[in-house]
Structure 1
Amino acid sequence: MSLKRRMAIGATAGALSIATAVVSYYEGYQPTAYRDPVGIATICYGHTATARMGQTLSQAQCTQLLQADLGTAFAAVDRLAQVDLPPPTRAALASFVYNVGEGAFARSTLLRKLNAGDLRGACHELSRWVYAGGRQLNGLVKRRATERELCLEGIKEEPTP
């Protein structure tokens, strides 16, 4: 296996590890379904797609859902971003997509700035996404601050030509 391939695998694993830590911290672990702040049935680490009230899942099932949902979020970032992203920036955006969904990301000013090459401006757009159901939520303010810092950290790591 080539060094370039090994480095790509390492970078991917690094981004996945970072995103897993951020998402699991901010989503929290709840094995029994509950309603999120806007009333959506949610379970485990913020999983909504197949959650239904009254449902309880094991830690292993919740971990599988987290991995699958993060895989979906990373795939959306990789498909929609038309620029190369350093692992911390990619992890921050995957955490963001995990939380707001691919559709919101696809229609966002954040993505437009990203694809225009304004990575710093794109990272700063994260701070605008702190509302749910028309209310600013402190948890989202904190999460977006972490994602923004991580996003910007990735840009700082980029070598200058």
Structure 2
Amino acid sequence: MRVSKRVAAIAAAGALSVAAPVVMQFEGLRTTAYLDPIQIPTVCYGHTLTASMGQTKSVAECEQLLRDDMQQALTGLAACVEPELQPHEWAALVSWSYNVGAGAACGSTLMRKLNAGAAPGEWCPELRRWVYAGGQRLAGLVRRREAELQLCLGR
């Protein structure tokens, strides 16, 4: 299946609507740009691509950026995930990839295990390894990965 058709099928299955509350909870809404824990300009719900210090966005603009960024995370993942997944597994991966980037996600041990046919009980716990930013273990990432793990396992 081509990536664009696969992305549409995954989105239709509700993965993005399940992932959105997780992303929103852990990213939080900030309409004025700020520096994240590793000093990257960030705005809205963790948007970094076009963020710059001094920038402000409306809530509606932030919601659109969230939709666009989540779609981009899903598209990046769909290009490297080989097996069919359940919507809750996709949702967990989208939240994770939204945070770490599709390049990092696609090159990860988690992805190697997933694509090698491992069961979710083996590859989902790999999410727990992604709790560092700037070389430091961050409590917020620990909490986020635990929530993503529970979602990934369907709990």
Which TM-score applies when normalising by structure 2?
0.90
Q: Deviations over 1:116-160 (max 9, x none)?
A: 111322101000000001111010000000001111118xxxxxx
Q: Deviations over 1:21-43 (max 9, x none)?
A: 10000000000000000000000
- State whether residues 89 and 152 of structure 1, in contact with CA within 8 Å, keep that contact through their aligned partners in structure 2: yes
Indicate the percent of aligned positions where both proteins have the same amino acid: 54
| Residue segments in structure 1 that go unaligned for 5+ positions in a row | 1-7, 155-161
- State whether residues 29 and 45 of structure 1, in contact with CA within 8 Å, keep that contact through their aligned partners in structure 2: yes
| Residue segments in structure 2 that go unaligned for 5+ positions in a row | 1-7
Letter paired with 2:114: L
CA RMSD of aligned residues (A): 1.6
Larger radius of gyration: 1
Tell me what 2:75 maps to: 75
Distance (Å, rounded) in 1 between the aligned partners of 2:45 and 2:132: 19
Tell me what 1:138 maps to: 139
Tell me what 1:95 maps to: 95
SS at 1:153 equivalent: coil
Q: Shift in Å at residue 11 of structure 1?
A: 6.7
SS at 1:84 equivalent: coil
Which TM-score applies when normalising by structure 1?
0.87
Q: Shift in Å at residue 51 of structure 1?
A: 0.0
The total of aligned residue pairs comes to 147
Q: What pairs up with 1:42-121 in 2 under 5 angstroms?
A: 42-118=42-118, 119-121=120-122
